[in-house]
Structure 1
Amino acid sequence: MSPSDPFQSQAASTSEGSPRSEQPSPSATLTREYALAVQSTSYNEIWSKIHVPQRDEDEDEDEQDQQRLVLAQVLQPNRECVEEALGHVESNTLTRLVSDYFRHSEDATHLCLLLHRSVYRARALYAPLQQLLDVLDSLESISLNQSQCSRALDIFLQFDRHDNPFPSPDSHNFFDSRRRFSDLKSQLDRRLHISRSKIRHIRRATTASAICLIGTAVGMVAVAAAVTAHALAAFVVAGPLCSSSCCSRMTSKEVAHVTQLDAAAKGTCVLKEDLATIDSLARRLHTEVEGHKDLIRLGLERGAQDKHPIQEVLKQLRKSLPNLLHLVNELDQHICLCFNTVNRARSLLLQHIYTPCNVETHTDQT
Structure 2
Amino acid sequence: MACINFKSPFRLLGRSRKRQKDRDDSLVNKVNVDEEYKEALRTKSYTDISSKVEGHLASKSMETSSSFPLHLHLFESLLEPGQETVAHIIEGLSIHPLLIDYFKITIETCIICEVLLQSIHQIRANHRIIKSVLDLRQKALVRISESSTFSNDECYVMFQDLASFAAIRNPLSAISPAEFRDMQNGHSDLLNRLTLQCRKLQREIKIRRGMKKIVGYTIVVAYTALTFTLMALALHSIVGLVAAPALFTCSFGLLKKHNKLVKIKASSRERMVAQLDVAAKGVYILINDFNTISRLVIRLYDEIEHSKAMADMCVRNGKIEVMKEVVREFRIGETCLNEQLKELEEHINLCFLTINRSRRLVVQELMHSTTTHKK
- Normalising by the smaller structure, the TM-score range is 0.7 to 0.9
Task: Give the secondary structure class of the aligned counterpart of 1:166.
Answer: helix
Task: Give the secondary structure class of the aligned counterpart of 2:171.
Answer: coil
Could you tell me which residue of structure 2 aligns to residue 19 of structure 1? none
Residue 26 of structure 1 pairs with residue 29 of structure 2 = yes
Q: Distance in 1 between matches of 2:372 and 2:101?
A: 19
Q: CA RMSD in A?
A: 3.3
Task: Give the secondary structure class of the aligned counterpart of 1:77.
Answer: coil
Q: Distance in 2 between matches of 1:24 and 1:230?
A: 75
Could you tell me which residue of structure 2 aligns to residue 87 of structure 1? 91
Matches within 5 A, 1:202-217: 202-212=208-218
Amino acid at match of 1:279: S
Task: Report the alpha carbon displacement of residue 122 of structure 1 after superposing the two structures with TM.
Answer: 1.2
Q: Distance in 2 between matches of 1:81 and 1:108?
A: 19
Per the normalisation by structure 2, the TM-score is: 0.76
Residue 201 of structure 1 pairs with residue 207 of structure 2 = yes
Task: Report the alpha carbon displacement of residue 342 of structure 1 after superposing the two structures with TM.
Answer: 0.9
Task: Determine which structure has the larger helix proportion and give its number.
Answer: 2
Deviates more, 1:133-142 or 1:199-208: 133-142
Percent of paired sites with the same residue: 24
Distance of aligned partners of 1:135 and 1:146 in 2 relative to their CA distance in 1, 3 Å threshold: closer
Task: Report the alpha carbon displacement of residue 104 of structure 1 after superposing the two structures with TM.
Answer: 1.4
Once the two structures are superposed, residues 219-242 of structure 1 have per-residue CA deviations (whole angstroms, 9 ceiling, x without a partner) of: 789777767996586356435422
Once the two structures are superposed, residues 277-310 of structure 1 have per-residue CA deviations (whole angstroms, 9 ceiling, x without a partner) of: 212211211111111111111222234xx42112
- Name stretches of at least 5 consecutive residues in structure 1 with no aligned partner: 1-21, 362-366
Residue 100 of structure 1 pairs with residue 108 of structure 2 = no
Task: Give the secondary structure class of the aligned counterpart of 2:172.
Answer: coil
Could you tell me which residue of structure 1 aligns to residue 364 of structure 2? 351
Could you tell me which residue of structure 1 aligns to residue 300 of structure 2? 285
Once the two structures are superposed, residues 200-234 of structure 1 have per-residue CA deviations (whole angstroms, 9 ceiling, x without a partner) of: 11222233345556766887897777679965863
Deviates more, 1:41-50 or 1:125-134: 125-134
Amino acid at match of 1:56: T
Q: Distance in 1 between matches of 2:27 and 2:260?
A: 48
Decide whether the 8 Å contact of 1:181 with 1:272 is kept in 2: yes
* Bigger relative contact order (CA 8 A; separation at least 6): 1
Matches within 5 A, 1:1-366: 25-52=28-55, 53=58, 54=61, 55-56=63-64, 59=67, 63-64=70-71, 67-68=72-73, 70-90=74-94, 95-130=96-131, 133=134, 141-143=145-147, 145-147=149-151, 149-150=155-156, 152-167=158-173, 170-212=176-218, 234=249, 237-303=252-318, 306-355=319-368, 357=370, 360=373
Task: Give the secondary structure class of the aligned counterpart of 2:81.
Answer: coil
Could you tell me which residue of structure 2 aligns to residue 9 of structure 1? none
Amino acid at match of 2:310: L
Q: Distance in 2 between matches of 1:158 and 1:168?
A: 19
Q: Distance in 1 between matches of 2:179 and 2:334?
A: 26
Q: Distance in 2 between matches of 1:194 and 1:143?
A: 76
Larger-gyration structure (1/2)? 2
Q: Distance in 1 between matches of 2:332 and 2:225?
A: 89
Count of residues in Structure 1 that have an aligned counterpart in Structure 2:
331
Task: Report the alpha carbon displacement of residue 83 of structure 1 after superposing the two structures with TM.
Answer: 0.5
Task: Report the alpha carbon displacement of residue 167 of structure 1 after superposing the two structures with TM.
Answer: 1.5
- Name stretches of at least 5 consecutive residues in structure 2 with no aligned partner: 1-24, 235-240
Per the normalisation by structure 1, the TM-score is: 0.78
Task: Give the secondary structure class of the aligned counterpart of 2:92.
Answer: coil
Distance of aligned partners of 1:31 and 1:230 in 2 relative to their CA distance in 1, 3 Å threshold: farther
